[in-house]
Structure 1
Amino acid sequence: MNNSYNSFFRNSDLKVNRYFAQPQFKSQLIEASKHGKDVFYNEVRKLNNCYYARKLQGDISIKDIFLEYWSAFKEKYMHRLKRPGLIESIETMIGCHNFDNGYLFYECPNCNDFYMIGFSCHSRFCSSCGQKYKNQRTIKVSEKCLNVPHRQLVFTIPSQLRPYFQVHHSLLDVLFNSVKETLNACLEKNAPKLYKNEKRKLGFISFLHTFGRDLKFHPHIHVLIAERYYKNNGDLKCFNFFPYEYLRITFQNKLFHNIYIHCRDAIKNKKLSQELFKLCTHLKELYPRGYYFYGPQINKDKTTINDIKSLTNYIARYASHPAISERRISSINFENNTVTWFYDPHEDDDITDESLKKGRQEITESVFDFMAKLIKHIPDKGFQQIRYYGFYSNKFLNKISTNKLFSNAQLNKMLDNTYWVNGLKLSFGYNPTLCKCGSQMMINLELSYFP
């Protein structure tokens, strides 16, 4: 059997994934084989990746967990589910692809076969829709990027501050602003007068991540920054020196100052502002060199399309889906109401000696504890986890129209891949609207359901 048909895509190793071989599918596979190898394997993959096949193979979805336990969880913890849009995000995700919420009906023009697809929920808490959202965000970022070297910067906060950010989500805006002010201060530091006279601007995109691999609340900012600054005459000049010591200290000072001002003026909680002032003063003594900061160049010579695309995919992924990949959920015990999941510690990434690594960590905990860990990472309604600054902001949309990293044709192809049919082709290797008779199914709007 041709290996390109055999195991390149998920659930396509036909020696292992045998759902298609069940007797009730024999006639449709015989029909598909009459119309060529592509049609046959398309039908095989379509069967192997259906909901029931994935359940038999042990796949566990976040949606299934919430379908089973959400009502009980909501009743018990309703007093803790007060954030804007939180319940809406969860219940929208639970109803994703539910035919009661609408569907599209595709039918074959040559036989009686048909295919129905329920409407997507578009919730960022949905594993399925989160993938599409991530791809769309990646395209949005990609269309901004110039064909110049870039680098990734990461700004984190000390663990002692995390509980305050978890309770007061408006502090996440403070984190974004502190990173922006820190980078602008770095540009101004080199030439203060020219910075003002020439109205110099950096171009960068900030991504908020609120979790690590262990699912703890750990807000930090990833920044994709161009190694250029923009002058008011339209010129772009090289800027590739980022003094790490200065950035660490400046970020610490900006963050502390902005936290205090925000608590005093926006939250208007005198007790909270005094408490945080004392804590921040203590943290300055505890971390005299500032906070953890990471900022390697992506490519020493020149940023390539693959560099930007892979990095943007990586960064946008964590701002666009639930806090855990469903492949990391090992099992669920409905009798004991427990979930088992795993993660590989970040600390092991840079260790070459296997004996020194912590190794894969497996967690078994109550379903409610697991659900609570996921829920705390759902963003508030309307909260933007990806933000554009400087000459990458919308204000500069038409001011820098040349020297783009991606052509319009490349961007259109990327956009075309987000269409649900093409997404399934790329991820699982099958076209859901290709009939077993080899014909392309057509949408029938009269038989579709639009609530």
Structure 2
Amino acid sequence: MLELARDPKHLGADIGFLGVLHTWGQNLEHHPHVHYIVPAGCLALDGSRWIDSSPRFFLPVKALSRSFRRKFRAGLGELFEHNRLQLHGSLQQLALPGAFSHFLSELGQKDWVVYAKPPFGGPEHVLNYLARYTHRVAISNHRLVAFESDRVSFCWRDYAHGGKQKVMTVSAHELLRRFLLHVLPGGLVRIRHFGLFANRKRSSARTLPRSARHGGLRRSARATQLALSSLLRHHAGR
């Protein structure tokens, strides 16, 4: 997104966004995914003014799809070249000479899909949702309903069937196994900042003209400002 945003054919400006890593679903199985928050605007390349994005779309999804495909294939190729890919089961055949190159070539011939949509309930809903989860663990105490004979029962929502609340019972060992899936390795951070929000950009952002720093914020709804403040408080641990 950073590259496309700087392209004069699109926004021709600098954007910033933050990503929050989630690794669990309601049933505590491994479900890694990242939520990104992207302001609907950007900073002119010379830092002189704030530019609102189009009300119809932020960046064209077809261009995003091609960019994502190119970068993902390049990343896979680099990992394979440095023997950092683990290929198990049916994927072991990709380790054969030439097989992985052919696999990457096939990936490049397919259309990749970037599905972009406005957030349900508006930006306030998204910010409040992420603010609740930035420093939480995979399951909280209030979801645990019973512990009997080495069996643990907990509540979960089955979003595949209309979000119905159900109770799942597993062994204590299985619950611990699922819980430990979501303990991040040392050095892997849950929240990352990109573009204008990156650490190396913070000092330069302080020197921007006041109108550029706050122009977009003044146009934001008050509720969104409060939700963003909530997210930042959680992130800062205050």
Instruction: Specify the alignment match of 2:79 in structure 1.
Output: 262
Q: TM-score, normalised by structure 1?
A: 0.39
Structure with bigger gyration radius: 1
- Deviation per CA, 1:125-176: give whole Å up to 9, x if none: xxxxxxxxxxxxxxxxxxxxxxxxxxxxxxxxxxxxxxxxxxxxxxxxxxxx
Secondary structure, aligned partner of 1:267? coil
Q: 1:270 to 1:284 in 2, by over 3 A?
A: closer
- 1:278-305, CA deviations, whole angstroms, 9 ceiling, x for partnerless residues? 79659949x95535634315787xx6xx
The Cα shift of 1:359 comes to: 3.1
- 1:385 paired residue number: 190
Q: 2:51 aligns with which of 221, 237, 254?
A: 237
Per the alignment, do residues 327 and 279 of structure 1 end up closer, same or farther by CA in structure 2, a change over 3 Å counting?
Answer: farther
Aligned-residue sequence identity (percent) comes to 18
5+ residue gaps, structure 2:
219-224
Letter in 2 for 1:209: H
Alignment of 1:421-436 (within 5 A): none
Instruction: Classify 1:202/1:370 alpha carbon distance in 2 versus 1 (closer, same or farther; 3 Å).
Output: same
Q: Give the match's secondary structure for 1:209.
A: strand
Q: Deviations over 1:308-357 (max 9, x none)?
A: xx533422443422212322222111xx2111123112234xxxxxxxx4
| Whole-Å separation in 1 of the counterparts to 2:39 and 2:93 | 36
Measured after TM superposition, the shift of residue 205 of structure 1 is 0.7
- Aligned equivalent of 1:326, options 141, 144, 153: 141
* Higher mean C-alpha deviation, range 253-262 or range 381-390: 253-262
Going from structure 1 to structure 2, the CA distance change for 1:330 and 1:239 (only over 3 Å counts) comes to: same
Are the aligned partners of 1:263 and 1:270 in contact in 2 as well (CA < 8 Å)? no
Alignment of 1:35-184 (within 5 A): 183-184=1-2
From 132, 151, 175, the equivalent of 1:370 is: 175
Matched, 1:191 2:6: no
Q: For 1:230 and 1:273, locate their aligned partners in 2 and report how far apart those are by CA, in whole Å.
A: 47
Structure with the largest fraction of strand: 2
Amino acid at match of 1:186: L
State yes or no: 1:202 paired with 2:15. yes
> For the Cα contact (< 8 Å) 2:150–2:172, is it kept in 1?
yes
**Aligned residue identity for 2:52:** C
Q: Deviations over 1:55-106 (max 9, x none)?
A: xxxxxxxxxxxxxxxxxxxxxxxxxxxxxxxxxxxxxxxxxxxxxxxxxxxx
- State the partner residue of 1:296: 118
Task: Tell me, yes or no, if structure 1 residue 315 matches structure 2 residue 130.
Answer: yes
Q: Alpha carbons of 1:268 and 1:374: their partners in 2 closer, same or farther (altered >3 Å)? A: closer
For the Cα contact (< 8 Å) 2:24–2:138, is it kept in 1?
yes
CA distance in 1, matches of 2:46, 2:93: 43
Ranges of 4+ aligned residues in structure 1 off by more than 6 Å: 268-273
TM-superposition CA deviations, 1:9-61 (whole Å, max 9, x none): xxxxxxxxxxxxxxxxxxxxxxxxxxxxxxxxxxxxxxxxxxxxxxxxxxxxx
Q: What amino acid does structure 1 have at the position aligned with 2:18?
A: I
Equivalent position amino acid for 1:257 in 2: A
- Whichever residue aligns with residue 222 of structure 1, its letter is H
Letter in 2 for 1:239: S
Name stretches of at least 5 consecutive residues in structure 1 with no aligned partner: 1-182, 349-356, 420-451
